[in-house]
């Protein structure tokens, strides 16, 4: 894997998508104004009286739409900027702090995070464990590198070798190093702002009469903007996953590390029926996870590239899944 | 002043600003190299601190292997001295070479100790020993990653200092490309991190 080239590629693609996103927001604002103007013109043609555009028609349309989008974005993003927000989020998902002094596995995990932070030259994030999740997975969250969390599932701790765990931690640390959580949260905030435009249109429509027409116009534009925003947000997220994969290979200088994780994840997905299900993770955090849910029919809204593609990018060719180690006989731990 | 003079002045000001910005960027990159080198030193110290603990635990089980343990202890002492010498005179090639040689001897004796540990199942099962072995594995990785980070910083500095037009600024201020650490992965050192349980 030519990891430096792959990283440049992913960065260029992200920039293009973010610019497109800004264009989509601008297009929504312009669309709302034009749709309302068209409705007004239609009305004035039908009515016997002359209906000039009201004063401040343009200013109010653009102002209110921008207020909705930016307000929604600000509200959504503000909750993540509070200190300790990443930890609280992790706890809500069932994570607890790793206890390196108590368990050998957790000692290993904490050591690996330290090692990767040396390779990446970044401050160490808080290390957490999700003890009730038996599937291989992990997530990283944090507004900046000084208030960040890396959490790993119990299943990953038990079923991965030391080298693989290194690859997994390196992938998550890349998300923190590159500020992906922040970018994702900003985009998610914008998307919810676009959703607000749609909501506002629905509220206007409830008044009935002529408002049906104007509300419908706002709803239509809001819906289009919202869908475009979700598409672009997912596309950005997929690029950041590929960037983090390339970063992990760069830092660990090993493709079998993260490659092994993804190949074991492939096995896990094939055997998903035979295993007890884990506690569900809310849709809000999907883009923070190492592995998303199985790809939908239409991959355009998935936050992760398909596993097979990620494996092929790492090895340069398709690779078969790796078998999972049998879980060891249960041992009683005094908690 | 005529407008020509103003234009010349403006161009000169732009060039001066560019030189200042480029010079500062180069200095920042060079400082990051120094910092990365310090990180390697920190991790070597961590290794020296761990080894006596490991030897102490092993001694309880390895009464008949006193010679192996003694070899590790003296190799560690020599490496600590060599590291102190290298730290005092980092520009002295002989001191750095001496540290590399002492590290190689230490790596070899640690490898022999770990091979001996393999044949003592009770020692292998000892919880303290397992924990120390994990710490040692991690330390070996940290040293490796610290070296890698050092080389990455050197690469970033050398790129900035040799590419046009930054190389002109580097030349005026006598900044030479830094040297990368060469691989010291001799056959003996390769054995050192193999502490699999």
Which of the residue ranges A278-282, B159-163, B181-185 would you say has the lowest mean pLDDT?
B181-185
* Domain boundaries defined on chain B: 3-191
Which residue, among A150, A135, A145, has the nearest Cα to A87 in the 3D structure?
A150
pLDDT at A202 over 80: yes
Q: For chain B, say whether A73 makes contact (Cβ under 8 Å).
A: no
Do the Cβ atoms of B145 and A107 come within 8 Å? no
pLDDT at B143 over 70: yes
| Closest residue in B to A115 (Cα–Cα) | B142
Size of interface A-B (CB pairs under 8 A): 38
Q: For residue A107, which residues of chain B lie inside 8 Å, CB to CB?
A: 131, 134
Q: What is the mean pLDDT of residues A47-73?
A: 83
The confidence band for B193, taking pLDDT boundaries of 50, 70 and 90, is very low
The confidence band for B7, taking pLDDT boundaries of 50, 70 and 90, is very high
Confidence (pLDDT) at A295 = 64
Q: For chain A, say whether B128 makes contact (Cβ under 8 Å).
A: no
Residue with tokens 């502490």: B195
Smallest CA–CA distance, residue B93 to chain A, in Å, is: 26
Q: What is the mean pLDDT of residues A277-299?
A: 73
State how far the Cα of B135 lies from the Cα of B129, in Å rounded to an integer: 10
B177 CB burial (10 A radius; 0-12, 13-18, 19+): middle
Q: For chain A, say whether B45 makes contact (Cβ under 8 Å).
A: no
The confidence band for A151, taking pLDDT boundaries of 50, 70 and 90, is very high
Q: For chain A, say whether B43 makes contact (Cβ under 8 Å).
A: yes
Q: Two tokens at B53?
A: 């603990």
The confidence band for B191, taking pLDDT boundaries of 50, 70 and 90, is very low
Which of the residue ranges A63-72, A85-94, A103-112, A277-286 would you say has the lowest mean pLDDT?
A277-286
Confidence (pLDDT) at A127 = 94
Confidence (pLDDT) at A125 = 93
The confidence band for B196, taking pLDDT boundaries of 50, 70 and 90, is very low
DSSP codes, A144-185:
STTSEEEEEEHHHHHHS-HHHHHHHHHHHHHHHHTTHHHHHH
State how far the Cα of B34 lies from the Cα of A282, in Å rounded to an integer: 45
Q: For residue A104, which residues of chain B lie inside 8 Å, CB to CB?
A: 127, 130-131, 134
The confidence band for A245, taking pLDDT boundaries of 50, 70 and 90, is very high
Do the Cβ atoms of A104 and B130 come within 8 Å? yes
Distance of CA A43 to the CA centre of its chain: 43
| Closest residue in B to A121 (Cα–Cα) | B149
pLDDT, tens only, A165-191: 999 999 999 999 888 888 888 888 888
The confidence band for A1, taking pLDDT boundaries of 50, 70 and 90, is low
- Residue A121 is nearest to which of B135, B138, B149, comparing CB atoms? B149
CA atoms within 13 A on the CB side of A318: 4
CATH class (in words) of the domain with range B3-191 = mainly alpha
- Determine the 3-state secondary structure of A237 from DSSP: helix
The confidence band for B92, taking pLDDT boundaries of 50, 70 and 90, is low
- Residue B138 is nearest to which of A111, A120, A251, comparing CB atoms? A111
Q: For residue B146, which residues of chain A lie inside 8 Å, CB to CB?
A: 118
To the nearest 10 degrees (0 to 180), the angle between helices A3-46 and A180-205 is 10
pLDDT, tens only, A25-41: 889 888 888 888 888 88
pLDDT at A110 over 90: yes
DSSP codes, B133-193:
HHHHHHHHHHHHHHHHHHHHHHHHHHHHHHSTTHHHHHHHTTPPPPPPPPP---HHHHHTT
DSSP codes, A28-81:
HHHHHHHHHHHHHHHHHHHSSS--PPPTTHHHHHHHHHHHHHHHHHHHHHHHHH
The average confidence (pLDDT) of chain A is: 85
Smallest CA–CA distance, residue A9 to chain B, in Å, is: 19
Confidence (pLDDT) at A325 = 81
Interface of A with B in 218-277 (CB under 8 A): 251, 253
Smallest CA–CA distance, residue A115 to chain B, in Å, is: 5
Confidence (pLDDT) at A96 = 92
- Residue A118 is nearest to which of B137, B145, B153, comparing CB atoms? B145
pLDDT at B68 over 90: no
Q: Two tokens at B33?
A: 């190299």
Cα dihedral sign for A30, A33, A39, A45?
negative
pLDDT at A133 over 50: yes
Q: What ipTM did this prediction achieve?
A: 0.74
Q: What is the mean pLDDT of residues B3-21?
A: 93
Do the Cβ atoms of B39 and A118 come within 8 Å? yes
| Closest residue in B to A108 (Cα–Cα) | B134
Chain A interface, mutation test: which of B35, B145, B148, most A Cβ atoms within 10 Å?
Answer: B145
Q: What is the mean pLDDT of residues A38-60?
A: 82
The confidence band for B99, taking pLDDT boundaries of 50, 70 and 90, is confident
Q: Two tokens at A2?
A: 């030519």
pLDDT at A330 over 60: no
Give me the domains of chain A, ranges plus CATH numbers: 3-83+182-226 (no CATH), 85-180+238-315 (3.30.2010.10)
A130's enclosing H/E stretch is strand A126-130
Q: What is the mean pLDDT of residues A198-215?
A: 86
A271 vs B138, which has greater pLDDT?
B138
The confidence band for A150, taking pLDDT boundaries of 50, 70 and 90, is very high
The confidence band for B149, taking pLDDT boundaries of 50, 70 and 90, is confident
Q: Two tokens at A60?
A: 């109010």
Q: For chain B, say whether A16 makes contact (Cβ under 8 Å).
A: no
State how far the Cα of A135 lies from the Cα of A122, in Å rounded to an integer: 28
Distance of CA A91 to the CA centre of its chain: 18
| Closest residue in B to A114 (Cα–Cα) | B142
State how far the Cα of A269 lies from the Cα of A309, in Å rounded to an integer: 15
The proportion of chain A whose per-residue pLDDT surpasses 70, expressed as a percent, equals 93
Chain B interface, mutation test: which of A118, A157, A166, most B Cβ atoms within 10 Å?
Answer: A118
Q: For residue B43, which residues of chain A lie inside 8 Å, CB to CB?
A: 118
Confidence (pLDDT) at B197 = 42
Q: For residue A119, which residues of chain B lie inside 8 Å, CB to CB?
A: 145, 148-149
Do the Cβ atoms of B137 and A162 come within 8 Å? yes
Chain B interface, mutation test: which of A115, A123, A173, A257, most B Cβ atoms within 10 Å?
Answer: A115
Smallest CA–CA distance, residue A335 to chain B, in Å, is: 18
State how far the Cα of B50 lies from the Cα of B111, in Å rounded to an integer: 15
B67 vs A333, which has greater pLDDT?
B67
pLDDT at A77 over 60: yes
pLDDT at A315 over 50: yes
Smallest CA–CA distance, residue B13 to chain A, in Å, is: 32
The confidence band for B123, taking pLDDT boundaries of 50, 70 and 90, is confident
- Cβ atoms B170, B26 nearer than 8 A: yes
The confidence band for A261, taking pLDDT boundaries of 50, 70 and 90, is very high
Confidence (pLDDT) at B189 = 42
Do the Cβ atoms of B138 and A112 come within 8 Å? yes
Q: For residue B149, which residues of chain A lie inside 8 Å, CB to CB?
A: 118-121
């Amino acid at each position: 894997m030519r990891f430096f080239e792959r990283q440049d590629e992913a960065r260029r693609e992200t920039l293009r998508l973010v610019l497109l996103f800004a264009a989509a927001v601008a297009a929504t604002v312009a669309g709302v104004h034009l749709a309302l103007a068209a409705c007004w013109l239609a009305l004035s043609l039908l009515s016997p009286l002359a209906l000039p555009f009201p004063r401040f028609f343009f200013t109010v349309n653009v102002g209110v739409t921008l207020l909705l989008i930016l307000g929604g974005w600000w509200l959504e993003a503000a909750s993540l900027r509070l200190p300790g927000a990443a930890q609280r989020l992790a706890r809500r998902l069932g994570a607890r702090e790793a206890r390196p002094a108590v368990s050998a596995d957790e000692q290993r995990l904490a050591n690996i995070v330290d090692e990767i932070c040396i390779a990446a030259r970044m401050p160490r994030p808080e290390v957490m464990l999700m003890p009730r999740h038996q599937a291989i997975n992990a997530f990283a969250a944090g507004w900046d590198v000084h208030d960040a969390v890396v959490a790993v599932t119990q299943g990953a701790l038990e079923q991965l070798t030391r080298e693989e765990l290194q690859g997994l931690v390196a992938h998550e640390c890349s998300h923190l190093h590159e500020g992906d959580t922040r970018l994702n949260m900003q985009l998610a905030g914008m998307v919810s702002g676009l959703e607000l435009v749609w909501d506002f249109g629905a509220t206007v429509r409830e008044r009935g009469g002529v408002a049906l027409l104007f509300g419908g116009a706002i709803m239509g534009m809001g819906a289009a903007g919202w869908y475009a925003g979700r598409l672009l947000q997912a596309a950005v997220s997929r690029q950041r996953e590929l960037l983090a994969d390339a970063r992990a290979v760069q830092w660990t200088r090993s493709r079998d590390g993260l490659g092994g994780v993804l190949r074991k994840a492939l096995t896990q997905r094939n055997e998903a029926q035979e295993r007890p299900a884990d506690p569900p993770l809310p849709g809000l955090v999907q883009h923070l996870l190492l592995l998303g849910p199985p790809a939908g029919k239409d991959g355009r809204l998935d936050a992760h590239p398909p596993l097979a593609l990620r494996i092929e990018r790492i090895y340069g060719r398709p690779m078969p899944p790796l078998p999972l180690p049998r879980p060891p006989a249960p041992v009683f731990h005094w908690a | 002043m005529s407008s020509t003079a103003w234009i010349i002045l403006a161009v000169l000001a732009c060039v001066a600003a560019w030189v200042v910005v480029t010079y500062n960027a180069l200095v920042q990159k060079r400082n990051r190299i120094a910092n990365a080198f310090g990180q390697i030193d920190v991790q070597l110290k961590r290794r020296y601190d761990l080894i006596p603990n490991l030897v102490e635990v092993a001694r309880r089980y390895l009464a008949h292997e006193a010679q192996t343990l003694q070899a590790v202890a003296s190799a560690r002492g020599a490496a600590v001295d060599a590291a102190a010498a290298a730290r005092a005179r980092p520009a002295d090639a002989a001191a750095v070479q001496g540290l590399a040689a002492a590290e190689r001897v230490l790596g070899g004796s640690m490898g022999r100790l770990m091979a001996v540990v393999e044949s003592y199942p009770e020692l292998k099962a000892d919880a303290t020993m397992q924990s120390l072995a994990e710490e040692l594995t991690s330390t070996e990785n940290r040293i490796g990653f610290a070296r890698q980070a050092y080389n990455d910083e050197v690469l970033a500095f050398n790129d900035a200092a040799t590419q046009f037009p930054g190389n002109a600024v580097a030349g005026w201020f006598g900044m030479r490309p830094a040297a990368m650490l060469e691989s010291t992965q001799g056959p003996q050192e390769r054995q050192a991190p193999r502490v699999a349980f």
